[in-house]
Chain A
Amino acid sequence: MLKGLHVDGHASLSTSVDVQFNTFIGAVATGCELPGISGVSIHGYGAYIPIFRIKASEIARVWGLSDSELPVLEKAVNSLDEDTVTIAAEAAGYALARAGIDPGRIGAVYVGSESHPYAVKPTGTIVADVLGVNSRLLSADLEFACKAGTEAMQLVTGLVASRMIDYGLAIGADTAQGRPRDALEYTAAAGGVAVVIGRSGDGAIADFEFASSYVSDTPDFWRRSHERYPMHGSRFTGAPAYFHHIISAVKMVQDEGYSLGDFDYFVFHQPNTKFPYAVAKMLGVPAKKVESGVVCNVIGNTYAASSMMGLAKVLDQAKPGERILMASYGSGAGSDVFVFRVKEGVLEKRGLAPLVSELIERRKYIDYSLYLKARGKIRE
């Protein structure tokens, strides 16, 4: 439940605001650094992947294109009765099951997505009502392309660290759009991941050790209002966009005193199978430390859930004491970076909800015609 933030009086509030404003201005001049996070943990996580899959070779067949060097093997497709609300609710239900807390203790529900069902009417309030979360709640829908989910994690960690809430839900979920015959059609997939974040303590799955973000105005991918499909800058989505932002975000971790050898797992945003391994190679990270979190080859790019899906898969197998670096990427552009230390709670909690590998195994293949029906692309 949301707690009030008490301020002693108007004078002290003004002073506080002035100090914060001056600090902010100074920080901009010298390069803005978000503070490290302490005393905040992941208490539950949950993933959801729709049951339908379409093979990339089936899409290539329809358009008469070569099926060699496709960006993924297959991708997850939502059915007609699924959208970002239902996917987010299902993932959040699993996260709450692992956290083992009453939904009434949740003080914030933030949902990051680029496929919110309504342009105006929040996804978060529907998800909260489905879960039975108390109405004394902070809730908002977030949008930052594929890093909207990790943006939700940044906000909830801040609220928990400041003690405004005890627990919060950060959700990344998408039913991503790809224009027929566009390169994105092979990868734009559906899925969702939620994490319950609270104060560190008994039962924690992973502690936050550090979190920060790197953003810039980089026009690599966009969708204008009222448009059904996004546009992108093709090869421009690589070097100046994905690679520059993730490498810059990881450098912020190194500036904090970590070396890349301190990490057992690296989770990067995965728009295709190639990019996470390519950025690892540029950073000098061994491929075996990346492969545990790669799911894109078999479910596609789940956009706002993409890097969080990799994190969920790593938490499904990580041992207490191991350290994880996660760097998301959102076009437009930015990268959120997190450092986690896995805790004992993961051992007893991971079996309380479906593992990512179980969700990947639960699948039914559909052909292109059923794919068009499931995605609502058949119109009268």
Chain B
Amino acid sequence: MHSIFRPPINWRHRRFRYRLVVWRCLNCGAVHHNATKICRRCRSNRLAEDQLPSRARLLTYTVVKNPPVAFERQAPYIVGVVEFEDGTRLLTGITDCEPEELKPGMELERVVRRLTEDGESGLIVYGYRFRPVLKKR
């Protein structure tokens, strides 16, 4: 079984998956998506909860045509790397668009989508994806 289908792991990571709630090191600025007491980069114990912004810039992307287990039905789908204002980079699924609509540097916004499910009887996993901005500021 994919670990994300196990209830404790699904539950523990939900705030990061739903709202990009992270733990930021107040010493070196490193961002951790799991709750942690020690910064994995500088070993500082000065960490605080933070939330990444809802918008980011697209750095690069690719199209997945040979998907891993649990994502077979969604192929082909787009996976990309986005960068937030503070320089934090995130690997993410990109939705609601075709690859030819994407250009590096364009602004994307976070949405919560149904990522995968453990068959017809197991847990459904929800989490972030990014899409072209629906309403410009």
Contacts and interface: CB of A to CB of B under 8 A. Distances in A.
A86 B135 contact: no
Given A81-B115, A82-B113, A86-B111, A130 B126 contact: yes
A117 B124 contact: yes
B74 interface: yes
B2 interface: no
Contact of B114 (A82, A132, A354, A373): A82
Contacts of B93: 81
Contact of B126 (A126, A354, A378): A126
Nearest to A81: B113
Given A82-B113, A132-B19, A354-B134, A51 B73 contact: no
B114 A85 contact: yes
A226 to B, nearest CB: 11
B126 A85 contact: yes
A237 interface: no
A177 interface: no
A80 B19 contact: no
Interface in A70-122: 79-83, 85-86, 89-90, 117-118
Interface string B112-137: 11110000000010100100001100
A353 B111 CA distance: 14
| Of A51, A353, A373, most B-chain CB atoms within 10 Å | A51
Nearest to B135: A354
B124 A86 contact: no
B85 interface: no
A118 B73 CA distance: 20
A171 to B, nearest CB: 14
Interface of B: 14-15, 18-19, 73-74, 93, 95-96, 111-115, 124, 126, 129, 134-135
6 closest A-B pairs (Cβ-Cβ)? A81-B113, A130-B18, A354-B135, A51-B96, A130-B112, A81-B114
6 contacts: A82-B113, A86-B114, A86-B126, A129-B15, A362-B134, A373-B73
Given A51-B96, A130-B112, A358-B135, 7 more contacts: A81-B113, A81-B114, A83-B114, A90-B112, A117-B114, A129-B18, A354-B135
